[in-house]
Amino acid sequence: MPTSEQNEFFRGSVGVVQTQVVRFDSFTLEGGESITPLEIAYETYGTLNEKKDNAILVCHALSGDAHAAGFHEGDKRPGWWDFYIGPGKAFDTNRYFIISSNVIGGCKGSSGPLTTNAKTGKPYQSTFPFVSIGDMVNAQEKLISSFGIHKLFAVAGGSMGGMQALQWSVAYPDRLKNCIVMASSSEHSAQQIAFNEVGRQAILSDPNWNQGLYTQENRPSKGLALARMMGHITYLSDEMMREKFGRKPPKGNIQSTDFAVGSYLIYQGESFVDRFDANSYIYVTKALDHFSLGTGKELTKVLAKVRCRFLVVAYTSDWLYPPYQSEEIVKSLEVNAVPVSFVELNNPAGHDSFLLPSEQQDSILRDFLGSTDEGVFL
């Protein structure tokens, strides 16, 4: 039974859901190494129709997981994109079959550093092979194919999820009809790599790091918390932080910081340690940094092979993935005469804007998906 806190969300919600895991005998990575077996954690919402042409794959960002909508039993908060997934919402589960999976290399049920290595009987930890964005997408393709789905109605995602959506359009051009890329990029800039490197170095300098072979009792928690604090600064805009925190003092008796924004970041770091793995943080951020479809003429050449419609969304206040990077993608698509709609939203929340409830964003997503059947674009 839903809790009292859940009841207010259940109107328009997919309700209580469970994460499932599918297993494949083996999976070969782009680097040549194999994962045996491959496990993928996923959730689905809605019903796959007889033609199997109404499926939408939703891809998560760095710290996300398969739980995109609805509630797990006993949870007070819904999945990370619940505002947009459900009956009558932008990703309407009365119409579409939504699939959300945890990326490989992560720590939320799919194969990654926490997975037991069949050869040793122990968790891989830092011996897990390098995983690319391409590997994540290739694993998702195996999941999609296991449903008997040949062509996805759409692939959608923000930030790292947007990179996965973009990779889908390039790697499997005939397997998707629509592609939605939000707050993302075709490759990381030096500044974006720098932010991730600082986070990784914080983890590597933790006394408990032990070359990534730490125990659960002695994890590099401080380093991971610092990495999350650093990352979280980049997710918010100056305007949002100024409005939310200003120069206010912290609430309560917090000795380690003089300002409210400091206590907020400490909370974000400490809570992140409880739900994420330090090795996975390193693996996933490295996948982000190594992803590159190029820019300019190189990107235009790569995108010449795509066969789907695009919606690209950027946010004026996003200084982590600034709008010019989205515009690069749009320009390359336009050169190739690929149908593309571009929207830059003046949302003050910064990079996290794509995750937050927004009636305007809901309308944009709804109109783009709904316009497909009529053959019109935004």
Annotated binding-site residue numbers:
228, 352
C-alpha angle 19/20/22, rounded to 5°?
Answer: 150
Q: Which of 169, 133, 150, 187 is nearest to 336 (CA)?
A: 169
Q: Kindly list the catalytic residues.
A: 159, 318, 351
Distance CA 197, CA 181 (A): 24
Q: Which of 305, 300, 105, 11 is nearest to 2 (CA)?
A: 11
Distance CA 36, CA 34 (A): 6
Q: Where are the beta strands (DSSP E) in the chain?
A: 20-24, 27-28, 34-35, 38-45, 55-59, 85-86, 91-92, 97-101, 154-158, 178-182, 309-315, 340-345
Distance CA 202, CA 297 (A): 36
Binding residues for substrate: 228, 352
HSE value, Cβ hemisphere, 13 Å, CA-based, for 218? 10
Pairing of strands 97-101, 55-59: parallel
